[in-house]
Chain A
Amino acid sequence: MPFQRKDLLGIRELEVHEIEHILELAFSLKEINSRSIKKVPTLRGKTVVHLFYEASTRTRTSFDIAAKRLSADTFSIGATTSSLTKGETFLDTVKNLEAMKPDIFIIRHSASGTPHRIAQRTPVAVINAGDGMHEHPSQALLDMMTIRQFKGRLDGLNVLLVGDIAHSRVARSNIWGLTKMGSRVTTCAPRTLLPPHLETLGVQVCPRMEEAIPHADVIMILRLQKERQEQKLLPSLREYAVQFGVNAQRLRRAKKDVLIMHPGPINRGVEVSPDVADGPHSVILEQVTNGVALRMALLYLLAQNQP
């Protein structure tokens, strides 16, 4: 069997053949999303609970649409509606929900490792929808799906990751996924936004955008949180935009078929200029479209693996 896990917690522990299998399934499910009646009965009678301890409209909506198109029933527990703030621990919440017999938990949490700790304690399947600075596996998978869609392959490509690698779960999941699939990953950012011992993750570090851009087949731009300036990791957002922002002028030295990607939401004018975000190389919206298909594939696989 190509994918036999109870949970999908991260990319780091996945085998290449598992990633292949997920991507293939996602491509085959994508067609459902362009039908006039976008619904198949595959997960009828299954209950999917979104457990979001951290605000996120995009990821939750994407998972929700994916589940509904597979005919699952979905429910959302947000940090505001949860009893977390009333002294209930995350395990209490999970055990309470578990008693209502759901099939899949989709969990986002600001603390790294929390979906893993929950998965160890519950028979319910767990999908990690982003944990702290650790992993965001569905995002990395949809990114790989998008690259493969446009480039036909992942093997041998040069992928440039620009921006806040240190605090980014998207970066970590992509680094593990892309390097497993044979891409070469280079990072470009001020040193304060690179995690210590980054080289141990198997990536190159290039401090100059001008040197990095010409080699890139894909430029993946990460979101820069404004609070990084308050944390004194950057002297100013202005300098960041000047030194590391991706703009049309910088792209003149890029390959003609370079792909511009961004996990969203975008800080226009900071990490990417509007003309690039909306320009001919941008596949940012296709990432969003692929996100639904990819998440349908994950829900389908985990539901299938349940006893």
Chain B
Amino acid sequence: MQQEGFASFLLRQARVLDPEHHRDETADILVSGGILKEVTPHLNIRETGLSNVQEIDLEGKWVAPGFVDMHVHLREPGEEYKETIESGTRAAVAGGYVAVACMPNTHPVNDSSAVTRFIVDRARERGSCHVFPVASITLGSRGKDLTEMGELQEAGAVALSDDGRPVMDSMTMRRALEYSRTYNLLVISHAEDLSLAANGVMNEGPTSTLLGLRGIPAAAEEVMIARDILLSQLTGAPVHIAHVSTEGSVSLIRNAKNLGIQVTGETAPHYFTLTDDAIMKFDTVFKVNPPIRRHRDVEAVKRGLADGTLDAIATDHAPHSSLEKDTEFEFAANGAIGLESALPLALGLVREGVLSPLEMVAKLSRNPARILGIPLGSLETGKPAHLTVIDPEAAYVLDAETFQSKSRNCPFHGWKVQGQVLMTVVDGRIAFTRLNL
């Protein structure tokens, strides 16, 4: 019996990468009725008793648990001209993601259960993948009064962050960590000391001096990471550091982990790929916050990924229109879209020998799912099927004009890359595919 709306399909002879079960082997995968039925070296269709099973030959391709992006901006409610939950999740499945966690800096800010519920409902109606709202730590993300975290959790929030802004006041951050612990709600820190960042527009270094642009020193990030690590130690609450970009940040997190402090960290592809020299022509597509840094920071971020200091690769997908980007460099908004370019850049780390394929998959799926406490990121038979199918070899040119996102602010537009998402399966349905089925 085939369930309504669900097809049965058999993925033949792909390289199956499942970090949760330490599995890296060639196997067949059977999905039926939305459920992951079998993962086994060789499957005989007749023995399954199923009819109408579509067989898809995936020799040379990879299958991973569906990717989870723990840091995106979907811009809805309020800035639907940049992105909507509908377009953002279409971009997500095109990039191999079966779930995204969306940051609260919408208009209005997601600081109430009404907004959280709106996001959850809208995602259910129009989303191509799962959407997990991150609610704000403080009302309006103004850094003063705590949000009603218990109610936000009931409405569907999986974590808390004032992303885009730091919680500058240390006592407020302490209280946030203590109070959120009541509900086991993770606090995600956007680590930026605003007084040190001093309205800077790029990394502080030789390039900012050369270009006469105000710099943001690495210390603006590191001071806050150090503070939040100490507050995590003080309160016993875990803290997750968003978009780690500097050498010093990586070593602070590494040391804290060695001390047994419950800190986790993520970085984004632009931080392990780009240096601030990219700004030499004042191209605002490279304006992000934290800013892209120096070569030694890029290398340190890679080492942090390799040794496990940095647990996750997120995209910090931040859509902006030409209104925010086609301006003077100083006045341009921070942010780059990333959902549809993350995989080939992450695969670059595999080709460089920084990560094994299994480690890369862990940082794109299992680890962010674990950090957020959501039941994704592993291949569990008998559970809804969430899969990402990859062609690791496909070589092509990234073309932002073809992206599903509403925005075009992709710093990698025109790059020759290798590795492509072939298919994304969400709850057993093919939510995206490049294959001719």
Q: Would A133 and B212 be within 8 Å (CB), given that A111-B331, A117-B329 are in contact?
A: yes
Q: Does A3 contact B (CB under 8 A)?
A: no
The stretch of A17-25, A197-205, A214-222, A283-291 in contact with B is: A197-205
Beta-carbon contact of B330 and A197 below 8 Å: no
Beta-carbon contact of B282 and A112 below 8 Å: yes
Beta-carbon contact of A112 and B330 below 8 Å: yes
Beta-carbon contact of A197 and B328 below 8 Å: no
Beta-carbon contact of A114 and B205 below 8 Å: no
Beta-carbon contact of A201 and B209 below 8 Å: yes
The CA of A292 and the CA of B10, in the complex, are separated in Å by 78
The CA of A301 and the CA of B330, in the complex, are separated in Å by 31
B328 cross-chain contacts in A, Cβ below 8 A: 90, 109, 111, 113-114, 117
**Minimum Cβ distance to chain A for residue B153 (Å):** 41
Q: Does B57 contact A (CB under 8 A)?
A: no
Q: Does A132 contact B (CB under 8 A)?
A: yes
Q: Does A120 contact B (CB under 8 A)?
A: yes
Per-residue interface assignment for chain A, residues 80 to 108, with 1 indicating a CB less than 8 Å from any chain B CB and 0 otherwise: 00000000011100000000000000000
Beta-carbon contact of B213 and A133 below 8 Å: yes
* Chain A contact patch, size range: 20 to 34
Q: Would A132 and B326 be within 8 Å (CB), given that A116-B282, A120-B281, A196-B204 are in contact?
A: no
The CA of A201 and the CA of B208, in the complex, are separated in Å by 12
Q: Would A195 and B209 be within 8 Å (CB), given that A112-B282, A117-B282, A120-B281 are in contact?
A: yes
Q: Which residue of A lies closest to B323 (CB)?
A: A89
**Minimum Cβ distance to chain A for residue B193 (Å):** 16
* Chain B contact patch, size range: 20 to 34
Q: Does A69 contact B (CB under 8 A)?
A: no
Q: Does A131 contact B (CB under 8 A)?
A: yes
Q: Does A271 contact B (CB under 8 A)?
A: no
Residues in B177-212 with C-beta less than 8 Å from chain A = 204-206, 208-212
A197 cross-chain contacts in B, Cβ below 8 A: 205-206, 209
Beta-carbon contact of A91 and B330 below 8 Å: no
Q: Would A89 and B326 be within 8 Å (CB), given that A111-B331, A113-B282, A120-B281 are in contact?
A: yes
From the candidates A89, A111, A196, name the one contacting B330 in the complex (CB within 8 A).
Answer: A111
Q: Does B381 contact A (CB under 8 A)?
A: no
**Minimum Cβ distance to chain B for residue A87 (Å):** 10
B211 cross-chain contacts in A, Cβ below 8 A: 112-113, 134
Q: Does B95 contact A (CB under 8 A)?
A: no
Q: Would A12 and B282 be within 8 Å (CB), given that A111-B329, A117-B329 are in contact?
A: no
Beta-carbon contact of A112 and B213 below 8 Å: yes
**Minimum Cβ distance to chain B for residue A171 (Å):** 10
Q: Does B255 contact A (CB under 8 A)?
A: no
Per-residue interface assignment for chain A, residues 108 to 141, with 1 indicating a CB less than 8 Å from any chain B CB and 0 otherwise: 0111111011001000000000011111000000
Residues in B210-227 with C-beta less than 8 Å from chain A = 210-215, 217
Per-residue interface assignment for chain B, residues 314 to 347, with 1 indicating a CB less than 8 Å from any chain A CB and 0 otherwise: 0000000000001111110000000000000000
B205 cross-chain contacts in A, Cβ below 8 A: 196-197
**Minimum Cβ distance to chain B for residue A194 (Å):** 9
From the candidates B206, B210, B330, name the one contacting A12 in the complex (CB within 8 A).
Answer: B210
Beta-carbon contact of B212 and A196 below 8 Å: no
B282 cross-chain contacts in A, Cβ below 8 A: 112-114, 116-117
Q: Which residue of A lies closest to B209 (CB)?
A: A195
From the candidates A91, A112, A116, A172, name the one contacting B281 in the complex (CB within 8 A).
Answer: A116
Q: Which residue of A lies closest to B279 (CB)?
A: A113
The CA of A65 and the CA of B206, in the complex, are separated in Å by 37
B204 cross-chain contacts in A, Cβ below 8 A: 196
B212 cross-chain contacts in A, Cβ below 8 A: 112-113, 131-135, 169, 172
A196 cross-chain contacts in B, Cβ below 8 A: 204-205, 208-209, 215, 217
Q: Which residue of A lies closest to B205 (CB)?
A: A197
**Minimum Cβ distance to chain A for residue B177 (Å):** 32
The CA of A57 and the CA of B330, in the complex, are separated in Å by 24
Q: Which residue of B lies closest to A116 (CB)?
A: B282
**Minimum Cβ distance to chain B for residue A291 (Å):** 21
A117 cross-chain contacts in B, Cβ below 8 A: 282, 328-329
A201 cross-chain contacts in B, Cβ below 8 A: 209-210
The CA of A120 and the CA of B281, in the complex, are separated in Å by 9
The CA of A105 and the CA of B413, in the complex, are separated in Å by 30
Q: Would A89 and B327 be within 8 Å (CB), given that A117-B282, A196-B204 are in contact?
A: yes
Residues in A182-215 with C-beta less than 8 Å from chain B = 195-198, 200-201
The CA of A18 and the CA of B213, in the complex, are separated in Å by 26
Beta-carbon contact of A198 and B213 below 8 Å: no
Which of B215, B328, B329 has the most C-beta atoms of chain A within 10 angstroms of its own C-beta? B328
**Minimum Cβ distance to chain A for residue B202 (Å):** 10
The CA of A178 and the CA of B304, in the complex, are separated in Å by 43
The CA of A110 and the CA of B211, in the complex, are separated in Å by 13
B210 cross-chain contacts in A, Cβ below 8 A: 12, 172, 200-201
B329 cross-chain contacts in A, Cβ below 8 A: 111-114, 117
Residues in A149-173 with C-beta less than 8 Å from chain B = 169, 172
A114 cross-chain contacts in B, Cβ below 8 A: 282, 328-329
The CA of A117 and the CA of B212, in the complex, are separated in Å by 15
Known: A89-B327, A131-B212. 18 other contacts (CB 8 A): A90-B328, A91-B326, A111-B328, A111-B329, A112-B330, A113-B213, A113-B329, A114-B282, A114-B328, A114-B329, A116-B281, A116-B282, A132-B330, A133-B213, A133-B214, A134-B212, A198-B209, A200-B210
* 5 pairs of A and B residues whose beta carbons are closest in the complex: A113-B282, A134-B212, A133-B212, A111-B328, A111-B330
- A-binding residues in B (CB < 8 A): 204-206, 208-215, 217, 281-282, 326-331
The 20 sampled A-B contact pairs (Cβ below 8 Å) are A12-B210, A109-B328, A111-B328, A112-B213, A112-B330, A113-B212, A113-B282, A113-B329, A114-B329, A132-B213, A132-B330, A133-B213, A134-B213, A169-B212, A195-B209, A196-B204, A197-B205, A200-B209, A200-B210, A201-B209
